[in-house]
Amino acid sequence: MTLVLPEYGRSALTDVLPSVATHLGVPQSHDVLGIPVSSRYVLLLVDGLGWTITSEARSTGPMADLGSVTRLTAGVPSTTVTSVTSLGTGLTPGQHGIAGFSFRQPETSKVLNALLWHSQPDPVAFQPHTTVLQRATAAGVGVTRVLPAKFEGSGLTQAGLRGGRFLGETDAHAGRIAAVRDAATSADRTLVYHYVRELDHTGHGKGVGSSAWRWRLNQVGRFIHDLRASLPDDVVLLVTGDHGMIDAPGHHRLIAEDDPMLMAGVDLLAGEARFRHLYTRDVPGVADRWATRLDDRAWVRTREQAVAEGWFGPLDPRVANRFGDVVVAMRTDWAVLTTTFPKEHALIGMHGSLTEAEMAVPLFIA
């Protein structure tokens, strides 16, 4: 299986909002994606909408007439918290430092779960770079984030998506559409960010090969179709995903703590089942043992090797130690689980690695 590297600066999630911002008059922005010229944009992020697993749905059903589609790549790891922060800031993971679902806080040597992140560490201090949404707001653009109400003030929202007005919403179909439409038409220049989470939840719980997942994809397609129909013609609707997903079968799962060879010399283990951060004082030894034990089931790199290959983009020394001293990206459909996070044992669909199924996401221009 081929390792897919992120295409930062050419065709990646990092390039979406800077490309949009160019046409809204935001300084220091550049359109590398060829986004249509407009003064009003809606960016819809569908969690779990990968390029590979939606290919069949692009030819039939509600997603068939969404307009042109381009292949983008996520960053590394291919997971929500990293992708959302890259999308919101226009920066690579190595610059913004949100290193994955969970990763080490060097200041405390504790693991930060970025999905459950609230007040500590302070999100603005932890990720101090100005977001594209903040820059657009400063340029006079009417920026609105239409997100689940519980996300207001969360660590991830403040770190990667701060800027503009926050509009909390429920899961009601018509209410979400009305909120996005009203925000998109609230000023002469507008940028609306909206997040749809249901597809990812179904993929994790039921698997991307399931009938439940395909039903959910069709529901998401109908929502997008209805949203497009509700928007004035001068509003450009962009639809993308934060990662794809694969199903990890039970017989292709290892538990790290059950394998002495894997845990030898590992001081701290973080990340997720498809992408592990390993923190250690014995970098060569740990890298060698994991590479030997996993063989062709994973790509094992030291942090320096991964950076040299372009996994994280340019690495800011101030955030370097958040990334594993050794990083492990699973190949095919294998996973390495941990007893410290038992909830992941119940997941069927997973993501985080550098396979095509996980890294490639679509960008629809509707």
Q: 301 burial class (0-12, 13-18, 19+ CB within 10 angstroms)?
A: buried
Q: Which two tokens stand for residue 214?
A: 């395909």
Q: For domain 250-347, give the fold.
A: Gyrase A; domain 2 (3.30.1360)
pLDDT in tens, the chain (366 residues): 799 999 999 999 999 999 999 999 999 999 999 999 999 999 999 999 999 877 766 666 667 677 789 999 999 999 999 999 999 999 999 999 999 999 999 989 899 999 999 879 999 999 999 999 999 999 999 999 999 999 999 999 999 999 999 999 876 778 899 999 999 999 999 999 999 999 999 999 999 989 999 999 999 999 999 999 999 999 999 999 999 999 999 999 999 999 999 999 999 999 999 999 999 999 999 999 999 999 999 999 999 999 999 999 999 999 999 999 999 999 999 999 999 999 999 999 999 999 999 999 999 998
Q: Which two tokens stand for residue 349?
A: 């669909």
pTM, rounded to two decimals: 0.96
Q: CA 331 to CA 333: how far, in whole Å?
A: 6
Q: Which two tokens stand for residue 135?
A: 């820059």
> Of the candidates 211, 217, 251, 248, which has an alpha carbon nearest to the alpha carbon of residue 348?
248
Domain ranges of the chain: 13-246+355-365, 250-347
Helical ranges in 112-194 per DSSP H: 123-126, 132-138, 155-160, 173-184
Helices 173-184 & 211-230 angle (0-180, nearest 10)? 40
- DSSP track, 296-321: GGEEEEEHHHHHHHTSSSS--TTTGG
User: Tokens 């396979």 sit at which residue?
Assistant: 355
User: Are the C-beta atoms of residues 364 and 287 closer than 8 Å to each other?
Assistant: no
Q: For domain 13-246+355-365, give the fold.
A: Alkaline Phosphatase, subunit A (3.40.720)
Distance from first CA to last CA of the chain, Å, rounded?
32
